[in-house]
Amino acid sequence: MEYTTLGRTGLNVSVAGLGCGGSSKLGLGSGHSTDHAIGIVQRALDLGVNFIDTAQYYGTEPVVGAAIRGRARDKLVISTKHKTSLLNGTVFSVPEILAGLDRSLRSLDTDYVDVFCLHTVMPREYDRVIQEIVPVLLREKEKGKFRFLGITEFAGRDPRHEMLARALQDDCWDAVMVAFHMLNQNARQHVFPAARAKNVGTLIMFAVRAIFSAPGRLQDDIRELVREGRLPKWLADKKQPLDFLLENAGARDIIEAAYRYARHEPGAHVTLFGTGNPDHVEPNVRAILQPPLRDNDLKKLAELFGNLVGVGLDEVSPLR
């Protein structure tokens, strides 16, 4: 495993982080047992992954708590999250969020979490977050319930990173979670420069989702983008539109290429992967640990896809 410093937090984190959400939820989302899910977390830990991201909304906090039991807590970096609202219009009050933090600590069976994030915050919610919620959370931080404060975007509904662009103007955030992948590159302009300037830790989500892992999905999406006039026509005729990444001893497969692309972006700290299949844990970690993509490949990806916005940001999709 390789490790890096998560921005100004000073936390020593693995560059590969285990995400415990998505549709798989460590396998719970597809009907697997709690023991199965615990085994996935423990396999990641055995490979040197020390950053684990979960959330009350995922339902995987108890799994993480069971998986880390007996391991040195000070060697692990645990991140969890609480939503400020739901799509059905439910708005969580400040007391409800504080109660959620306490429930998370109980579920994780820990006295503190390293990073506590407000989850999928929309631009319209940010005024309330910064004025009403953050001051109270910082008092909870002083009590030792969490070490650093983070915020995550709602990628599919905020494809231009408007919320994070605004959040990075404030000084209270120690970490941000941002969507970034080969066909969704605009965080390079809207998020990473400000995060680097303030030394804010970055957690990369969506490096690999259905657009790269579901058979046929990339080709279908490329054809649709061609029909919309957003990509050149010749791409629609290719069986594998990203075959240049694999040629001449390039990446082993598209999933590896996607992880390498996200992991080595300047300003990226932790690249999250998630799975419900224990056999995928080691290949995912191995992919994240590979060298950067070739300069010519990076240039071609920027030329072809650099202007796309909102591609491959499914709200729920398979992770690998």
Tell me the Ramachandran region of residue 293: left when phi exceeds 0, alpha when psi lies from -120 to 50, beta otherwise.
Answer: beta
**Number of domains making up the chain:** 1
Q: What is the pLDDT of residues 42-89, one digit of tens each?
A: 999 999 999 999 999 999 999 999 999 999 999 999 999 999 998 888
Is the pTM higher than 0.85? The answer reads: yes
Residues 103, 109, 114, 120, CA torsion sign: negative
Q: Is residue 85 part of a domain?
A: yes
Q: Give the CATH number, domain containing residue 86.
A: 3.20.20.100
Q: Is residue 311 part of a domain?
A: no
- pLDDT bin (cut points 50, 70, 90) of residue 23 is confident
Q: How far is Cα 1 from Cα 15, in angstroms, rounded to an integer? A: 8
For 235, how many CA atoms within 13 A lie in the half-sphere containing its CB?
23
List 148's β-bridge partners, or say none.
Answer: 115
Q: Give the residue-averaged pLDDT of 88-97.
A: 93
Q: What is the pLDDT of residues 263-319, one digit of tens each?
A: 999 999 999 999 999 999 999 999 999 999 999 999 999 999 999 999 999 865 444
Q: Is residue 314 part of a domain?
A: no
| Percent of all residues in the chain with a pLDDT value above 90, rounded to a whole number | 93
Q: Is residue 318 part of a domain?
A: no
Q: Is residue 162 part of a domain?
A: yes
3-state helix, strand, coil in the chain (%, to 5): 45, 15, 35
**Residue 27 domain boundaries:** 3-305
3-state secondary structure of 117: strand
Q: Give the residue-averaged pLDDT of 5-23.
A: 96
H helix intervals, the chain: 34-46, 61-68, 94-108, 126-128, 134-142, 162-167, 187-190, 192-198, 210-213, 217-227, 254-263, 281-288, 295-305
Q: Is residue 218 part of a domain?
A: yes
Q: What is the pLDDT of residue 317?
A: 42
Q: Is residue 315 part of a domain?
A: no
Q: What is the pLDDT of residue 87?
A: 87
Query: What is the chain's mean pLDDT, rounded?
Result: 96
313: its two tokens: 């940001």
Q: What is the pLDDT of residue 158?
A: 97
